Structure 1
Amino acid sequence: MGTRDDIELLGKRIGQAIVGQEGMIERLLLGLLSNGHLLVEGLPGLAKTRAIKSMAKNLDAQLSRIQFTPDLLPSDITGSEVYFTEGGKGEFRFQQGPVFANLILADEVNRAPAKVQSALLEAMEERQVTVGGASHELPGLFMVMATQNPIEQEGTYPLPEAQLDRFLMHIQVDYPDAKSEAEIMRLVRSEETAVTSKARSDEKLAQDAVFSARKEISAITVSSAIEDYIVALVMATRYPDKLDKDLSKWIQVGISPRGVIGLDKVSRAHAWLKGRDFVTPDDVQATVHDVFRHRLVLSYEAHAGGTTANQVIDRIVQQVAVA
């Protein structure tokens, strides 16, 4: 079985525990393959946490779940130096925090104060933690999946735009359809009575399969025409007045260079998942919303008029010609 078959099998296993959220599952795989971090946003009960835990269950990787609360401290995440005594002598030793795992579930990330958020985001960017002047490397397979609830504002600390930019993709999760709701009820009922065999729980995808997939994705061909198309989409957010007068009223700050890099990475991963060794405009358009959504800063006029980031990106995709 090839590497792509292994990744597809991982997606199918996640899908056995999640019903009606195929788009979210695909984006979780894209984030894993692109070596990026994900911000997953949706109303309560839409299986955000369940999907992430299901991925960890079927991947040979350590999962740390951190429940973000207002009283959380940075050291609760990164770890701290602890004084040990042995044989009449004492010394400080670094005790690792929960961030030293492969998959980090940062639940309700917007409930923690800014200093805690920044501690996590530093680990995401640098892939290391510095405590007491010493740097400690994080695992080679390291992915943060942060969730947040969009309807509760009281007692929350919204992530600043510059910190949101650290996430590769912003995944929005919506309600499943009526057919899926019925399947969810049946699935939960069956889980309450089913006895999972030990053999089934031991079937996990090795980390080497993920690294092999990433190596194959790095070799995906991106033509100069596709590169020009990606750049044109980004430039449309920075200089919207050259494209559309409505866009110039809606966009306050455009996409950063991280957006260019992110769209290139995720487009290549999407092409690989679809069985191609080259990127097409369809790959770019299928992923541009998730890469751009959290990086766009909309104007007061856009917010006042009820214009969303998705609508702005839709207009950009319509206006920018495919190379």
Structure 2
Amino acid sequence: MKVVIIGNGIAGNQVAFSIRERCRETEICIVSAEDVPEYDPCSLPYYLGGDCEKKAVFRRQKRDYKKHNIELMVNSKAVSISPETKTVTTESGMQIGYDQLVLAHGGALFIPPIEGIGNKGVFSCKQLIETQKLKTHKGKSAVVIGSGAIGIEAAEALKKKGYAVYVIELLGWILPALFDEPTAKRLEAAMEGYDIRVFTGEKVLQIKGQKKVTGVITDKREIACDTVVVATGVVPGVALAKTAGIATGRGIQVDRHMRTSVPDIYACGDCVETIDACTGEVAMFQLKHNAIEQGQIAARNILGESVKYLGAYAFARAHFFNTHAVTFGKTMR
């Protein structure tokens, strides 16, 4: 049996190595658009701020794949799937056959329709290559658009690098997907104690500059800056699944065995929508611990077990500005 996994993130690697732990004979191939082995995206702000070296970002080395007889195809973006012929086609035109396919390619950074967002000096911390560009960028003043965990951690990292830092959040408080307002306001106060300006309830209208960033205009003010970090969340990657006739909603739809609507195709990680373990409702949880468990469930079912995923849960922890923050479950607010 040959298992092809599209995506070299946490979910995809969990599938690959979970299969290998249980079966030596299965042929495993990971198809990755990036040119590096698995790394932890949550570590990128720490690398940016100098809290860890680049090597600490990686969860695996290329030798780990060779040791476990897992083929890692880097620089190989999958562009189409043919369920009829059971093949995956890459950007270079290569066709890869499969018996079982796993979609674990995550999502893409949501790029808001802001004038000037393509200017030189606009970055993200979604991928290692973008973080490396930001790390070597010579700037003095940065605006972070969005205040999720990655945005807040990026703000702290830039402050450590000597930047003047401003955070702009469209909603009424920072970390709106994780915390209720009273908790978020305490964290906001901690940030301002480190001389980071936080503006909530503001919409960015324009990034100024002809070719490079010179400032940001919101619906309430103008801020001079030479650097912008876009941290506006991740959109699940559903285009590949849609063109293959796989059912999608906000994400790729899967059952409790992580199977999609097309036979012999599974999906897991940030690209799927799943069940909220607290409410039983369909939900999106783009969190590492859920990706790991989903990858394990998919692997076991691929190998013939019948294991059900009981649902995702909201658990997140972060440490910034000498403050430990943990959230679990749902707030009634």
TM superposition score normalised by structure 1: 0.29
Higher relative CO (Cα under 8 Å, sequence separation at least 6) belongs to 1
Pick the structure with more strand per residue. Answer: 2
